[in-house]
Amino acid sequence: MDSRKELAEIAGQVAVCTHCQLHYSRKKAVPGEGPADAEVMLIGEGPGFYENEQGRPFVGAAGKFLDELLEKGGVKRAEVFITNVVKCRPPGNRDPLPEELAACSGYLDRQIEAINPRVIVTLGRFSMAKFLPNARISEVHGQPFWNRSRLVVPMYHPAAALHQPSLKVSVERDFARLTEFIQQARAAASRAAPQAPEEPAPEPPKEDKPTQLSLF
């Protein structure tokens, strides 16, 4: 299916989803937003207060900080697809529960398939754990790794970094390398691409006269 249509279909399903208990307390589900052919996908944790009000990802204080981080990384927010591991707000911004993550993961998997990004930036522990279940974010943040021919870069969550100066320095340093990561993924993709096909063989010379079909 066309990737824009698939994303719209996912958003429609998320808006009315009742697969986990988070649907009871949500105001608006937050499917995510961005271009269907985005080269970079950012995956956060879950909607917060303002996201739940507006139905859009990263529009609160953490979102403002994320905008700054992207700008420092040389990437426009409008160019990236931004979503979360759970699409509905956990009450009081508590951590998402394992069963909520499991219930919601199919939507994220389908978004990744549809967009087919070259680079995935995970924001925070829960998003990292989708790709690296046993890693510690303090050990692996800013270190890209390959996952099914995509470059995945774990980063600290901007909301956590806002309130902890040491994490803020780390996340700023990691985001400053975003363009470098994108170029690394592009270079790998062009190496992996098949060689350009050879010139098509010339057409065989046509006969001067059309072959006459003798009916007799």
121, 155, 159, 167: which one binds ligand URA (CB under 6 A): 159
φ/ψ region of 106 (left if φ > 0, alpha if ψ in -120 to 50, else beta) reads alpha
45 binds, among ligand URA, ligand SF4, none (CB under 5 to 8 A by kind): ligand URA
Q: How far apart are CA 134 and CA 169, in angstroms?
A: 24
Beta-strand relationship, 145-147 and 150-155: antiparallel
Which residue number, 131 or 186, has a Cβ lying nearer to ligand URA?
131
33 Rama class: left (phi>0) / alpha (psi -120 to 50) / beta: beta
Residue 117 binding ligand URA, by CB under 6 A = no
Find which of ligand URA, ligand SF4, none residue 100 binds, CB within 5 to 8 Å per kind: ligand SF4
DSSP 107: H
Please choose, out of 8-16, 50-58, 144-152, 163-171, the segment that lies near ligand URA by the rule CB under 6 A: 50-58
- Residue 34 binding partner per list ligand URA, ligand SF4, none, with a CB distance cut-off of 5 to 8 Å that depends on partner kind: none
29 binds, among ligand SF4, ligand URA, none (CB under 5 to 8 A by kind): ligand SF4
| Size (the chain), residues | 216
